[in-house]
């Protein structure tokens, strides 16, 4: 705590800043609403004031400049309105708590020390001469996060500034009143962090600006790496740092980077709702948010049914052990591997030489162009041309062929039949087309005359000898052309979309017997379950369905053959829960966003999907995705979410993970063995009531899979537990209360208390499920309670007998 005198000085300064904010708000508010009216007025008058006159060239020019002028005026007013509006909003946001930190810094070579107050945004006094508050993202503010009092420095566009930090202070301010002031010698005082972390969980994630830790700050401000990889233990603040980083980038590059040029790939739609308030809280717009599944659906959903990752994990967790299961699991691993990625790349090269598969173009039950014709045309192109480019040439060829075939088709009998059934509208269309054609041929500009002539002809009147335009002959030929053209339209559209390539067949062909597969792909390491994997994949394909593990390789192959799509607008891609993506998916993202930098955040300790990628191993495909010189890896080991007691328990579940608990004390986890399922339910209900009475209000009953969620939901409800919320993969909003959910949906989110419904050895015994169990337990901030009706899962190594209770 600081002295009473210092406290008083601080409160006086706070009053001064609050007063300054109030008076500038009062000044700006009427201006902003005035501007809003002006802009609306200009919009309304826009067309009234502009008289469109195109009689002469000068008139036209005048009109053009008048529009331009109005437009410039409007956009200037709008810009100024936007800027003032933003200033007003940021001042209003600052008002209750204008800053959270202060550093006193004496720059080398100067004889005085400057007081830098740091808050969520900048605020200057009336004449904009003095900064009363510095935005946390300014270069000078970085020292607050990076240094303790003593020698310190920061980077500016003009170079490094060095000096001495003489004071570092933290504030808790509510409604313009100082609540707490801490002087700190640590980088960021533990006291403030203790207080923040001790609070209850929210339905929405909070911003951490006031307590960003040094290592998190390096993530937030990294502006060099093309690829920034963050491997961080559960609760180490990866998601928090990612969102602060978005806010930082938007601030630093505000003149050229907009929120919609940043994309976040999230683990599930509910997560989107969980993180959606952080950026608005910081005065920034939200970035785009999506899931990889959405992307797959977008490109493949119209032709194939794609299993989603949750269906896949449900299978992995619930299906009975059998040969088929082993094969599917082995397939999941193999299809997500780099080996398979290379196999597909080699397969594409092989296809450049032989084996390409096409779908013939059918028309009225006939084959217009056969697959064989396409194949021989395709392989007639120069082999040095890239596969996708050759495919482009073939597409051009097909379109030309269709033009020829379309012409030939006009004399077919079916066309005559169709002519007899044309309706009035189609006739009218033909006449209007004829009219245009006639106008072009005659090159006459007298529309009236033309109309009369054509109209006359329409009524059967003769045209003069010199007018040789034979309308009836022309009419029939035009109608024939129209009819055939209409029928050929879908053929052309399909050709343009590369529908003539048999991608299903190409992917299917890949799953050939061992020797053929090796020959086509140069692959040496084929899983021993290969025949069964082939059978399963082919069966699925025959129904135009794809396993989740097949969807990305399938799309990858499709793009190797057709050419890849790219999005050059996006500049930053964030991948949260990055361990859950396969090498394929990363190659994809790199190709899809060629101008973007990538930030991947994840924890291999929580890798619950079979397609997992290790983020930090030297030979991790992620580390090799971009050039080594462009790649940075940052490790976070300190865990902030859970109490020390919970972290000590959870880290024993994963002996190889490096996790350091933050020193926040709480109750030890409680392991309760109940005599029956009913007794367990009764105990859970009683525990929930106690936890509520203690003041907690966000709870999760976490289960292994969806079936167990439903069962526990029903059992607990039947025994009188009300207001339970059953979370499924379709749930899109995150709310407080008691949620019942499978562990894989609890990824990335947190609760005051977590209750593991069934921690028995019967439910969790496979080594592959250890990380799932760990993920579930690490969702707890303050309390962790585990229940069983049988033996405890072997992952629990707790020797502390005081944790165990029996009913």
Ligand X SMILES: Nc1ncnc2c1ncn2[C@@H]1O[C@H](COP(=O)(O)OP(=O)(O)OP(=O)(O)O)[C@@H](O)[C@H]1O
> Which residues lie near ligand X (CB under 6 A)?
193, 196-197, 206, 208, 211-213, 216, 232, 234-240, 603, 640-641, 748, 750, 778
Q: How far apart are CB 339 and ligand X at their closest, in Å?
A: 28
Q: How far apart are CB 766 and ligand X at their closest, in Å?
A: 22
176 is in an annotated binding site: no
CA distance 788 to 677: 9
Contact 98, 119 (CB under 8 A): yes
CA distance 83 to 483: 57
Q: How far apart are CB 575 and ligand X at their closest, in Å?
A: 12
CA distance 596 to 41: 40
| Closer CB to ligand X, 331 or 661, in the complex | 661
| Closer CB to ligand X, 239 or 613, in the complex | 239
| Closer CB to ligand X, 193 or 721, in the complex | 193
| Closer CB to ligand X, 406 or 603, in the complex | 603
Q: How far apart are CB 230 and ligand X at their closest, in Å?
A: 8
Q: How far apart are CB 211 and ligand X at their closest, in Å?
A: 4
Residues near 48 by beta carbon (within 8 Å), at least 6 away in sequence: none
152 is in an annotated binding site: no
460 is in an annotated binding site: no
Contact 739, 725 (CB under 8 A): yes
232 is in an annotated binding site: yes
| Closer CB to ligand X, 18 or 579, in the complex | 579
Q: Is 663 helix (H, G, I), strand (E, B) or coil?
A: coil
Q: How far apart are CB 197 and ligand X at their closest, in Å?
A: 6
Q: Is 216 helix (H, G, I), strand (E, B) or coil?
A: helix
Contact 582, 551 (CB under 8 A): no
Contact 344, 506 (CB under 8 A): no
| Closer CB to ligand X, 264 or 520, in the complex | 264
Q: How far apart are CB 19 and ligand X at their closest, in Å?
A: 30
CA distance 708 to 759: 12
CA distance 326 to 308: 20
Contact 107, 163 (CB under 8 A): yes
CA distance 594 to 226: 11
Residues 509-515: contacts with CB within 8 Å, 24+ apart? 509/355, 509/357, 510/343, 510/344, 510/347, 510/557, 511/537, 511/538
| Closer CB to ligand X, 123 or 696, in the complex | 696
Number of H helices, E strands in the chain: 27, 26
Q: How far apart are CB 150 and ligand X at their closest, in Å?
A: 21
Locate all alpha helices (DSSP H) within 118-213, ordered by sequence: 142-146, 190-198
CA distance 780 to 334: 34
| Closer CB to ligand X, 286 or 337, in the complex | 286
CA distance 105 to 112: 8
Contact 320, 495 (CB under 8 A): no
Contact 598, 590 (CB under 8 A): yes
Residue 61 has a CB neighbour count (10 Å cut-off) of 11
Q: How far apart are CB 698 and ligand X at their closest, in Å?
A: 11
CA distance 428 to 293: 47
Picking from 155, 190, 167, the residue whose alpha carbon sits closest to that of residue 114 is 167
**What is the DSSP code (8-state) at residue 668?**
P
Q: How far apart are CB 213 and ligand X at their closest, in Å?
A: 5
Contact 371, 360 (CB under 8 A): yes
Locate all alpha helices (DSSP H) within 563-697, ordered by sequence: 583-592, 644-651, 677-693
Specify the residue for token string 């020193």. 663
**What is the DSSP code (8-state) at residue 769?**
G
Residues near 34 by beta carbon (within 8 Å), at least 6 away in sequence: none
Specify the residue for token string 């309105």. 81
| Closer CB to ligand X, 39 or 780, in the complex | 780
In angstroms, the first-to-last Cα distance of the chain is 47
Token couple for 523:
């692959």
Specify the residue for token string 């919970």. 646
233 is in an annotated binding site: yes
* Nearest residue relative to ligand X (C-beta): 237
Q: How far apart are CB 577 and ligand X at their closest, in Å?
A: 7
Q: How far apart are CB 566 and ligand X at their closest, in Å?
A: 29
Q: How far apart are CB 763 and ligand X at their closest, in Å?
A: 22
Q: How far apart are CB 606 and ligand X at their closest, in Å?
A: 6
239 is in an annotated binding site: yes
Q: How far apart are CB 202 and ligand X at their closest, in Å?
A: 8
| Closer CB to ligand X, 168 or 558, in the complex | 168
Q: Is 788 helix (H, G, I), strand (E, B) or coil?
A: strand
Q: Which H/E stretch holds residue 66?
A: helix 57-94
CA distance 268 to 271: 6
CA distance 664 to 800: 19
736 is in an annotated binding site: no
Half-sphere exposure (CA, 13 Å, Cβ side) for 419?
Answer: 17
| Closer CB to ligand X, 763 or 778, in the complex | 778
DSSP string, 244-272: HHHHHHHHHTTTT--GGGEEEE-SSHHHH
Contact 709, 692 (CB under 8 A): no
| Closer CB to ligand X, 313 or 506, in the complex | 313
| Closer CB to ligand X, 206 or 518, in the complex | 206
238 is in an annotated binding site: yes
| Closer CB to ligand X, 197 or 755, in the complex | 197
| Closer CB to ligand X, 147 or 431, in the complex | 147
Binding-site residues, in ranges, read: 232-239
Binding-site residues for ATP, in ranges, read: 232-239
């Amino acid at each position: 705590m600081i002295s009473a005198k210092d406290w008083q000085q601080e409160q006086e300064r706070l009053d001064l800043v609050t007063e300054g904010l109030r008076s500038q708000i009062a000044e700006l508010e009427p201006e902003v609403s005035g501007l809003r009216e002006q802009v609306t007025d200009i919009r309304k008058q826009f067309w009234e004031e502009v008289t469109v006159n195109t009689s002469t060239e000068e008139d036209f020019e005048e009109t053009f400049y008048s529009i331009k002028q109005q437009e410039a005026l409007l956009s200037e007013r709008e810009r100024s309105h936007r800027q003032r509006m933003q200033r007003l909003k940021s001042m209003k946001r600052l008002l209750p708590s204008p800053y959270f930190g202060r550093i006193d810094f004496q720059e080398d070579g100067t004889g005085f020390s400057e007081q830098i107050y740091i808050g969520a945004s900048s605020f200057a006094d009336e004449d904009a001469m003095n900064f009363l508050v510095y935005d946390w993202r300014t270069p000078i503010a970085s020292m607050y996060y990076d240094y303790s009092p003593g020698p310190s420095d920061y980077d500016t566009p003009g170079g490094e500034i060095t000096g001495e930090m003489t004071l570092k202070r933290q504030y808790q301010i509510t409604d313009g009143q100082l609540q707490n002031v801490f002087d700190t010698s640590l980088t960021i005082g533990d006291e403030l962090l203790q207080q923040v972390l001790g609070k209850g969980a929210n339905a929405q994630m909070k911003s951490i600006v006031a307590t960003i830790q040094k290592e998190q700050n390096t993530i937030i401000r990294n502006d060099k790496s093309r690829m920034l990889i963050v491997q961080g233990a559960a609760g180490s603040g990866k998601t928090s740092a990612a969102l602060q980083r978005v806010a930082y980038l938007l601030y630093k590059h505000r003149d050229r980077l907009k929120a919609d040029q940043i994309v976040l790939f999230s683990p599930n739609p509910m997560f989107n709702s969980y993180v959606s308030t952080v950026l608005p809280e910081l005065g920034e717009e939200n970035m785009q948010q999506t899931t990889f599944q959405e992307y797959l659906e977008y490109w493949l959903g119209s032709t194939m049914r794609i299993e989603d990752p949750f269906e896949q994990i449900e299978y992995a967790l619930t299906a009975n052990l059998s040969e088929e299961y082993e094969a599917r699991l082995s397939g999941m691993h193999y299809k997500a591997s780099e080996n398979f990625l290379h196999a597909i790349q080699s397969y594409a090269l092989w296809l450049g030489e032989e084996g390409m598969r096409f779908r013939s173009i059918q028309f009225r039950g006939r084959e217009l162009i056969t697959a064989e014709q396409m194949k021989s045309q395709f392989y007639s192109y120069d082999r040095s041309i890239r596969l996708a480019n050759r495919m482009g040439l073939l597409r051009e060829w097909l379109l030309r062929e269709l033009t020829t075939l379309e012409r030939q088709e006009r004399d077919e009998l079916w066309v005559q039949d169709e002519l007899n059934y044309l309706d009035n509208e189609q006739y009218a269309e033909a006449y209007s087309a004829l009219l245009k054609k006639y106008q072009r041929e005659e090159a006459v500009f007298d529309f009236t005359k033309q109309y009369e002539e054509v109209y006359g002809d329409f009524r059967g009147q003769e045209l003069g000898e010199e007018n040789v335009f034979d309308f009836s002959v022309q009419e029939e030929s035009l109608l024939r052309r129209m009819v055939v053209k209409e029928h050929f339209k879908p053929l052309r559209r399909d050709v343009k979309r590369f529908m003539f390539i048999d991608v299903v067949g190409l992917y299917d062909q890949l799953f050939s017997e061992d020797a053929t597969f090796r020959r086509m792909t140069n692959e040496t390491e084929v899983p021993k379950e290969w025949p069964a994997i082939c059978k399963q994949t082919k069966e699925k394909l025959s129904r135009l369905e794809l396993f989740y593990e097949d969807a990305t390789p399938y799309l990858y192959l499709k793009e190797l053959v057709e050419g890849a799509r790219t999005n050059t607008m996006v500049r930053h891609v964030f991948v949260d829960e990055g361990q859950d993506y396969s090498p394929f998916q990363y190659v994809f993202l790199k190709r899809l966003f060629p101008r973007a930098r990538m930030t991947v955040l994840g924890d291999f300790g929580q890798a619950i999907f079979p397609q997992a990628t290790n983020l930090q191993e030297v030979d991790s495909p992620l580390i090799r995705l971009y050039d080594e010189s462009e790649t940075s890896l940052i490790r976070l080991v300190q865990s902030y979410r859970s109490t020390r007691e919970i972290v000590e328990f959870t880290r024993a579940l994963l002996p190889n993970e490096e996790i350091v608990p933050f020193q926040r004390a709480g109750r030890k986890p409680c392991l309760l063995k109940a005599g029956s399922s009913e007794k367990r339910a009764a105990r859970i209900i009683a525990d929930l009531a106690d936890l509520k009475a203690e003041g907690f209000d966000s709870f999760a009953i976490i289960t292994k899979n969806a079936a167990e969620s439903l069962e526990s939901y029903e059992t607990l409800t039947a025994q009188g537990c009300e207001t339970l919320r059953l979370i499924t993969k379709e749930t899109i909003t995150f709310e407080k209360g008691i949620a019942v959910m499978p562990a894989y949906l609890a990824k990335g989110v947190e609760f005051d208390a977590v209750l593991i419904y069934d921690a028995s050895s019967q439910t969790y015994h496979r080594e592959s499920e250890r990380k799932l169990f760990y993920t579930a337990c690490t969702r707890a901030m303050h309390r962790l309670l585990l229940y069983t009706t049988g033996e405890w899962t072997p992952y629990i190594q707790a020797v502390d007998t005081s944790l165990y209770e029996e009913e």
